[in-house]
Amino acid sequence: MAAHIQTGAVQQGAAGAQVWPVAAHQATQSSGRWLLDHVTSISHVAGTLHVVNSLSGGALTCHSTAAISMSASGIVAHASGLRLYVCSISLVASAAVSLGVVSGTGASCGTLTWPFIGGHVAASGLSLAANSGLVQGTGTSPIFVTPLNTYNLCVLISGTARVAGIITYGGAP
């Protein structure tokens, strides 16, 4: 019976090597081996690829919510020794703004930043018009996951527009 990965990452070689995110449709496990389909930047790399940071088989419940109402970049969920699995996100901006959702360490995830929506900084984020927003995920399974259990989840905002909404997530080792 083949198992499909819900969210995760692959790494080439030993621990500490480059890690790339993997979407649900890119990895299938069969007879103990993970089969990967076109993972960006590594589809033609020779050697062993290891699946790391994987969650398969629906073992996670997205039971936590973070209500968002902010006009400056900030942390919306703390790692607390668990990797954060984001299952849905719904955000609306009061004025035109560039917005990003990232994970990382430090205030506003400014260190070791791993972008999910937009880039590494707010200015390279998703451009939203006044009173517009974004919705991703259904809340039933992860749409992205922090790469390490020490990474927080942050919303990055360029300018002073108020951004409000909700993020549902769960934590797992």
Domains of the chain, start order: 3-56 (no CATH), 64-172 (2.60.120)
**DSSP at 24:** G
The owner of tokens 């560039």 is: 98
Check residue 7 and give its pLDDT.
Answer: 45
Q: Is residue 165 classed as helix, strand or coil in its secondary structure? A: strand
Token pair recorded at residue 56: 């398969």
What span, in angstroms and rounded, lies between the C-alpha atoms of 120 and 9?
18
Q: Which of 7, 172, 171 is nearest to 77 (CA)?
A: 171
Check residue 102 and give its pLDDT.
Answer: 93
* pLDDT per position as a tens digit, 52-106: 444 444 456 788 899 999 999 999 888 788 888 899 999 999 999 999 999 999 8
Residue 115 has pLDDT above 60, yes or no: yes
**DSSP at 124:** G
Token pair recorded at residue 120: 């590494």
40 compared with 108, residue with greater pLDDT: 108
